Copies of this chain bind each other. A is one copy, B any other.
Amino acid sequence: MPLTKSWVGSANAADHPFPLNNLPYGVFSTDTLAPRCGVAIGDMILDVARAEAVGQIALDGGPFFGAPAWNALMEAGPGVWGALRAQLTDLLAEGAPARAAVEGFLVPQADARMHLPFRVAEFTDFYAGKHHAQNVGTMFRGPENALPPNWLHIPIGYNGRASSVVVSGTPVRRPWGQLKGPNDDAPRFAPSARFDLELEMGAIVGQPSDEPVTVEEADAMIFGYVLLNDWSARDIQAWEYQPLGPFQAKATATSISPWIVTKDALEPLRVPTPAREVELLPHLRDAGPMLYDIDLAVTLAPEGAAPTEIARTNYREMYYSSAQQLAHHTTAGCPMRVGDLLGSGTISGAEAHQRGSLLELSWGGKDPVALDTGGTRAFLEDGDTLTLHGAARGDGYTVGFGTCAGTLLPALEDPYAR
C-alpha cells in the first residue's frame, strides 16, 4: 500500500511521520481549547471533538472525543476503531468533499500542548528482549547463566505503577532511594547515582478480558502502540530487587510518546518474531507475524548542548510480541482492562550500539559512552534530555511515532522538606 495523499500538504512527504496512512491519536490543548482528542495529520492536528460535534465524524456509541482520553473509543471496540479510521481517511484524503467543513478544525502542532493520550488503567513491564536479558544477565551472573531458565519459555513480566506514567516532555526528578553497594557495610538513603533509561515500546490494551486469551485474541485486543522510556534507578534496583522484583527503582516515572499509533496503521509493517530456540508451549506460540519493523533510536542531549545518538535498534529484535505478552498475562485468569499499558521490555540488538539502556551501553558503567559534544556518560547526569525516536517505513511513506522525551532534574536537596 503506497502513500495515500492528503489535502494537508505537509502530510505527503515520504519521510513525514504523520501521513494519511498513519493517523495517530493524541490528546491536545491550546491557549483557547481545553484538552481533547486530536488526530495528527502532517504538521497539523485535526480537532476530532469539534469534527464530531458538527457531525463530520459520526460513530455508533459516540460522542467519544470531547473527553481528554481515548479510552471511550477503545471501549467501543474494533468495529468502531475501523469506522473511525475510514471516516478520517475520507475527511482528509486529497479531494475530499468535506475539506471545507473540517479545515477550520485543524490546529498547528506547533501551537498545541500534548497530554497523556489515555487513562492508564494498570501498567505491566516485560523483560522480553533477548539481547537485553542476555546483556544484563551476563553482567550480573556471567555468560553461562545469563538467561534465567524460564526466559525462553515465558515472557517474564512484572507489574508496574500506572500512577507514574507521564507524557513525553514531562521533566523527571532524580529519585532518592535506599542504596547499598557491594562494599558498603550498611545501606544509606541518598539520591540515585545510576539513573538510566530503558528504550521500549508500549502496547495499549483496548479491549477487556476476564479469562485467558489466545495469542490471536490478544493481538485483536491491542489498540495501538507508543514509545516508552521506563526510567530505572539501577542502584536502587540492585539493593531492593531480590527476592520479589523491582519496585522503587521503577517507580519514579515511565514516559510515553503522546501519539498512539494504531494497530491498523502498523498492519502493513508486520514482521515475525525471531526463530525460536526452544519451541514455545502451544498457548504462547506465534499466531502469524506479530512484531513490526520499527526503527528506534535514542539521543542524549546534555543541558544546553546538542544531542548525540547513543543507540539505534529495531522493534523486530523483540523475542516475544506484545500479543504473546498479553496472552501470558491472562493465563492465570488475570482480568485485563481497557487502558492497560504493556511495556515491551528494553529493546537491544546484537551490536554494541544497538543497546537500549546505558547499563548495557556503558557495560555497567565500566565503559562510558562518548558524546559528540564532549564528555561521556556511564549513567544519566542532571540536565540530560533523553529522547526516543521511532518510525516504520512503508512503501513510499513513514509511520512515525514522533518522540518521547524527558529531562532529568536534580534530586531534591531534602525530599521531606515542605
User: Which residues of A are at the interface with B, using a C-beta cutoff of 8 A?
Assistant: 121-122, 127, 148-150, 153-154, 156-164, 173, 175-178, 180, 186-189, 192, 211-214, 233, 236, 239-249, 251-253, 278, 281-283, 328-329, 331-337, 412, 415-416
Q: Are A333 and B253 in contact (CB under 8 A)?
A: yes
Cβ–Cβ < 8 Å partners of A175 in chain B: 331-333
Residue contact B241 to A243, C-beta cutoff 8 Å: yes
With A127-B243, A157-B247 already in contact, 8 other A-B pairs whose C-beta atoms are closer than 8 Å: A150-B187, A150-B239, A153-B186, A163-B336, A189-B281, A214-B416, A244-B245, A244-B246
Contact present for A334 and B159 (CB under 8 Å): no
Interchain CB contact (< 8 A) of A332 among B187, B242, B249:
B249
Judge whether B328 and A248 touch: CB under 8 Å: yes
Query: In the complex, A337 Cα to B139 Cα: how many Å?
Result: 36
Known: A122-B161, A162-B122, A163-B121. A331 touches B187 (CB 8 A): no
Cβ 8 A contact of A244, one of B127, B173, B188: B127
Interchain CB contact (< 8 A) of A164 among B214, B239, B249, B335: B335
Q: Are A282 and B333 in contact (CB under 8 A)?
A: no
A150 to B188, CA, bound (A): 12
Partner of A178, one of B161, B331, B416: B331
Q: How far is the CA of A35 from the CA of B190 in the complex (A)?
A: 47
Contacts of A331 in B (CB 8 A): 175-178, 189, 248, 415
